[in-house]
Structures are given as structure tokens and as C-alpha cells.
């Protein structure tokens, strides 16, 4: 946690109260705050501040904003991700948010188990986003959308988003072309499930404007591929 993220309604007065048990536990265990210490605090969807601790007890920490700080810029990327296993979902969402993805779409595909859409982990996406924002020192959550049907998504949604200025790259280990690196434009990145997209899905993606690209001669896990791709594109 590199900032404490507060809701706008918590910051309406001159002094702000931090009362979330998870945040309090982390601050006590790792920072051992004292009155007079400085603390970075962000307002969800808003600004980031350097604050001063003015009071604290077992149930709250009271801070006073001192000055604003710059919020880290997002990478202009729309990440489209075949819904991963529930236990992987948490880490991948946190990492994508921490890395600064602007927009995330979770989609169905042939190798995505239908039971994944019933997992309670999907009801906790906001919690994962908060953890990712606090790690990155960010306050602006990415837009997140869910699509449970692959073909309608590709033909009716994805196809309308792809332009010359915003190309779409689908990660595919056996593609002839290599994923570009250090780009200076916005883009869409499509990453498949464990086992990858089936040939029909790859062809449908290509037919609707996606470019199949390889990350090299190693086949990566989904949770490894996403940070690798983002690091390559926006190094």
C-alpha cells in the first residue's frame, strides 16, 4: 500500500478519518505512524495528497491534507482478458490496475469454464481494484466490463473499437509476427485463457481486425503474459 484510498464522502471536512480495518492494520504493522508523520492519501476518482497525521487511536487515524501530488498517468491500453481461474483473477486484476491499464474487459471463450462466471471472486472486483490502486499510488480506477458471449463481443463490440490509431494485438504463441515494443499510441491487447484461444477464435479475432502476435519462443502463463506484454509495449 503506497497510498491510502478514501471515498469522496470521507474528505468533506478539514480533517479526514481513516477507519477501514484493513487499511488501519496495514498502517500499524508496516508504518508504525506517529502524530506529525506524513502520509500519502488519495481520493477515489480524484486527487492525491500529502497529509499529516494529527491524531490516532485503535479505531481511526485522523489526517490533515497539506498539498496535492500528481496522480500517475495511465497507459492507453484496453486489456481484453479471457476470464481466468478464480484464484488467478484476483492477482491479475490487481496487477493490471497497478500497471496502469486504462480499460479492462473480461470475456468468455471456449476454454473458459462456465463455472468461473459464478465465482464470488467476480463480486469482489472493486476490492481488487482498490488494492491495485493503493499499490500504484493511483486514484483513478479503470473501466471494467464483462462479456459472457465470445462471438457477439468480437463482432459487435471489439470490431468497432479497432482503428488505425488503435490497433488490436492478440497474443498467440504460434503467430508469425512479433509483438511490437515501446509503442507511442493507444492499443487493444487480447489475452486468451489457459490453453489459449482455439483456432476458430483466433480466426474470428483476425477476421474482425486483430493482429495475431507472438511474445517469442516461450509459452507463458496468462498471469505472466499480461505484465510481460504491458512492459514490452510501454517500456
**178 and 124 both lie in a single domain:** yes
**128 and 147 both lie in a single domain:** yes
Region 3-18 average pLDDT: 95
Asked if pLDDT for residue 225 goes beyond 90, the answer is no
Cβ-contact 163, 185 below 8 angstroms: no
pLDDT in tens, 43-61: 999 999 999 999 999 999 9
Q: Which residue shows C-alpha cell 501530488?
A: 69
Asked if pLDDT for residue 72 goes beyond 70, the answer is yes
**82 and 65 both lie in a single domain:** no
Asked if pLDDT for residue 214 goes beyond 90, the answer is no
Task: Go through the chain and tell me how many residues it has.
Answer: 235
**207 and 153 both lie in a single domain:** yes
**65 and 84 both lie in a single domain:** no
**200 and 106 both lie in a single domain:** yes
Q: Which of 92-101, 163-172, 198-207, 214-223 has the lowest mean pLDDT?
A: 214-223
Q: Which three cell numbers stand for residue 202?
A: 483466433
Residue 162 is predicted with a pLDDT of 97
Q: Residue 36: how many CB atoms within 10 A of its CB?
A: 8
pLDDT in tens, 11-20: 999 999 999 9
Give residue 176's pLDDT band: very low, low, confident or very high (50, 70, 90).
Answer: confident
* CATH number reported for the structural domain that contains residue 40 in this entry: 2.40.240.20
**55 and 161 both lie in a single domain:** no
Residue 235 is predicted with a pLDDT of 67
Q: What is the DSSP letter of 35?
A: T
Contacts of 212 (CB under 8 A, 6+ apart): 170, 172, 175, 176, 177, 202, 205, 206
Question: By residue range, what is the domain housing residue 8?
Answer: 4-69
Amino acid at each position: 500500500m503506497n497510498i491510502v484510498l478514501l471515498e469522496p464522502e470521507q474528505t468533506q471536512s478539514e480533517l479526514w478519518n481513516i477507519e477501514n480495518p484493513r487499511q488501519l492494520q496495514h498502517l500499524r504493522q508496516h508504518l508504525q505512524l506517529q502524530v506529525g508523520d506524513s502520509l500519502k492519501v488519495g481520493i477515489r476518482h480524484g486527487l492525491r495528497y500529502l497529509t499529516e497525521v494529527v491524531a490516532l487511536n485503535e479505531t481511526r487515524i485522523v489526517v490533515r491534507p497539506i498539498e496535492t501530488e500528481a496522480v500517475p498517468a495511465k497507459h492507453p491500453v484496453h486489456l481484453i482478458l479471457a476470464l481466468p481461474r478464480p484464484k488467478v483473477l484476483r492477482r491479475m486484476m490487481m496487477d493490471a490496475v497497478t500497471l496502469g491499464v486504462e480499460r479492462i474487459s473480461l470475456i468468455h471463450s471456449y476454454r473458459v469454464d462456465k463455472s468461473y462466471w459464478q465465482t464470488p471472486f467476480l463480486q469482489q472486483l472493486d476490492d481488487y481494484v482498490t488494492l491495485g490502486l493503493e499499490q500504484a499510488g493511483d486514484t483513478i480506477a479503470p473501466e471494467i466490463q464483462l462479456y459472457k458471449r465470445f462471438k457477439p463481443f468480437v463482432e459487435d463490440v471489439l470490431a468497432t473499437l479497432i482503428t488505425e490509431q488503435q490497433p488490436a494485438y492478440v497474443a498467440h504463441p504460434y503467430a508469425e509476427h512479433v509483438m511490437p515494443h515501446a509503442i507511442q499510441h493507444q492499443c487493444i491487447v487480447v489475452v486468451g485463457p489457459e490453453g489459449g484461444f482455439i483456432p476458430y477464435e483466433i480466426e474470428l479475432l483476425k477476421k474482425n481486425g486483430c493482429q495475431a502476435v507472438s511474445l517469442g519462443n516461450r509459452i507463458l502463463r496468462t498471469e505472466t503474459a499480461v505484465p510481460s506484454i504491458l512492459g514490452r509495449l510501454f517500456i
